[in-house]
A and B are shown apart, each in its own frame.
Chain A
Amino acid sequence: MAADRAASFDPDALSWYEATARQRVLALTDPGSFREILPPTERRMSPHLPLFDLPRAFDDGIVVGSARLDGDPVLVAAQEGRFMGGAFGEVHGGKLVGLLRAALELKPRAVLILFDTGGVRLQEANAGETAIAETMRAIVDVRAAGIPVVGLIGGRAGCYGGGGLIAGTCSRLAVSEGGRISVSGPEVIETNKGAEEFDSRDRALVWRTMGGKHRRLIGGADAFCADTVAAFRAAARDLVGRAPALDLDTLEAEQARLEARIDRFGDCRDATDVWARLGVNDPESVPAMDTAAFDETVARSPEADHDAR
């Protein structure tokens, strides 16, 4: 069934942003190769949501399993942003942590994490937060074992809160225009610090500050994709093949890279100021650039490509 459905998707036409977690996984990996672990039929649901009179999902908002990518065995986790904003609850987190721990035994070619999350699920906040810490530890273990962990970000919920920290722990990240990576979301900043600090209704500001193009230009992501599954697939294949090691040299390089970023851009008020300082001729035009024009701009950004992650 799953394989039949996968065959009916055209990855070139399927929007990553619009697709469900299962559609993304099935169209991203080799046709017929995905085998889901703890599938919805097992009904591993949150024991906590009924206390809040909230509906549950049979998969708790995350799809995990094994598959092949161009013939290579991979493990895949995909968050479902449509269920509670893809947020980390107890079962959701346990599935991701289990998958990463399994990678240490199975030694796949890579682990792919398809982020689509608002962060911690508040109704299960302590479990979600602890799961995020467990996930980060597990990712570091997997990377140290020589297995790349590649994050793909382009869903409706973005990659916020603890999800942003997990993303920063991955070997490589691919992001699309619709993808956003951030710790505090726009509404969180506005609620805590006021609209003069961050006006969450200013969508253009949100995209400039946290969106895929800004992250790619400053080296916060390693690939920028058009919003199709095919583009994410190509990026994933490429990034798996050039993942940096997790060792002291890499982290010293990342320290230097991030310190240099703050030295260089620490007084910038807006992303357009950062882009101007990066040498972008017409910073105001960046948000409207198509992928090809943006790729050319990235090629001229000295900060964009590095092995310091």
Chain B
Amino acid sequence: MTLAEILASLFPQGHAVAVRDGLVTGTGPFAGGRMHVVGVDGDTPLGVDGALVLSRAVLDAVRAGDRAPILVAVDSDSQRMSRRDELLGLNECLAHLAKALLLADRSGHPTIGLIYGHSAAGAFIATALATRVLAALPGANPSVMDLPSVARVTKLPLDTLKDMAKSTPVFAPGLDNMVATGAVHVVLDPDRPLEGQIRAVIDTLPAEDVRDRLGAERGGRPVARAVAAAVIEQARLG
């Protein structure tokens, strides 16, 4: 789905969400109140300037105190790779955006990511993965690195990696693998209105971070939860 189609399905009465330079901000009427939308569209890389535009919008929503849901719609490139962005502290700007979303969550705003296109690396972490749950639409393509690049780094033949990817979701790009890992909570049905589906996601938001539990249940991240639980248990013993 395109962003326009998503917004039309989410806000059948119309909305005030705009895209500028690949950055998405605005609101729409939702569940008797409103919903804030921020995001990245058009496979746009996220650099220091864009991150601060989005964090500004998120902090404004928190300041408004309406406890309205915040949807983070994502079709991005990775972080913008440039000398300028790193010189200016890209790590601080992306972390700041993530912290703003996490603060919004703590302040009573349900936060939902919606990945409908590509996203990778730092941009993915600072946007979609900083929400309480991440929903996806079929065709979404989250990744850390594409397989040819993985082949270069790991020095394994591409065909071998393609074979491994079928049975080992922990490293291969793609939506199914991120679902198996627990990073993507739910895949939505593009043929049904998104309004009701997103409302159902909000009504059943887990109280805590359940991504490692999902990863264990779905088999894509078999040991992360058990390791974290063992650390907590041993820490309790003082």
Point out residues on A near B: beta carbons under 8 Å.
Answer: 37-38, 44, 47-48, 51-52, 64, 66, 75, 90-91, 93-95, 97-99, 101-102, 105-106, 120, 122-134, 136-138, 140, 144, 161-162, 164-169, 181-184, 188-189, 192-193, 197-198, 209-210, 214-215, 218, 220, 246-248, 251-252, 254-255, 258-259, 261-262, 265-266, 268-271, 274
Contacts and interface: CB of A to CB of B under 8 A. Distances in A.
A193 B82 contact: yes
14 contacts: A37-B235, A91-B227, A94-B212, A97-B224, A102-B232, A106-B235, A120-B144, A126-B181, A127-B221, A136-B95, A136-B130, A183-B90, A248-B59, A252-B59
B9 interface: no
A84 to B, nearest CB: 11
Contact of B235 (A66, A124, A162): A66
B33 interface: no
Interface string B68-101: 0000000000010111111111111111101110
Given A255-B55, A262-B48, A95 B231 contact: yes
Contacts of A215: 89
Contacts of B141: none
B238 to A, nearest CB: 7
A251 B57 CA distance: 12
Contact of B98 (A44, A102, A105, A169): A169
A126 B183 contact: yes
Given A123-B154, A268-B84, 11 more contacts: A47-B222, A48-B170, A122-B153, A126-B172, A129-B121, A133-B130, A136-B125, A182-B86, A182-B90, A183-B79, A197-B82
Interface string B1-12: 000000000000
B211 interface: yes
Contacts of A252: 59, 63
The size class of the interface chain B forms with chain A is 35 or more
A140 B99 CA distance: 7
Given A97-B224, A105-B236, A168-B95, A274 B87 contact: yes
A258 B89 CA distance: 9
A262 B49 contact: yes
B121 A127 contact: no
Contacts of B87: 209, 214, 265, 268, 270-271, 274
B116 interface: no
A91 B223 contact: yes
B16 interface: no
Given A136-B102, A140-B103, A165-B125, A128 B79 contact: no
Contacts of A133: 125, 129-130, 183, 211
Contacts of B235: 37, 66, 75, 98-99, 102, 105-106
Top 4 A-B pairs ranked by shortest CB distance?
A168-B95, A98-B231, A94-B227, A164-B91
B86 A52 contact: no
Nearest to B87: A209
B205 interface: no
Contacts of A271: 87
B95 A126 contact: no
B56 A255 contact: yes
Contacts of A66: 235, 238
Most buried by A among B88, B89, B99: B89
A259 B50 CA distance: 11
A161 B144 CA distance: 11
A165 B171 contact: no
A138 B209 contact: yes
Contacts of A182: 86, 90-91
Most buried by B among A38, A105, A271: A38
Contact of A131 (B48, B84, B164, B224): B224
A250 B61 CA distance: 16
Contacts of A131: 224
Given A133-B125, A165-B91, A246-B103, A255 B59 contact: yes
Nearest to A164: B91
A51 B90 CA distance: 34
B209 A167 contact: no
Given A94-B223, A130-B221, A167-B91, A258 B96 contact: yes
Given A131-B224, A189-B86, A268-B87, A97 B212 contact: yes
B103 A98 contact: no
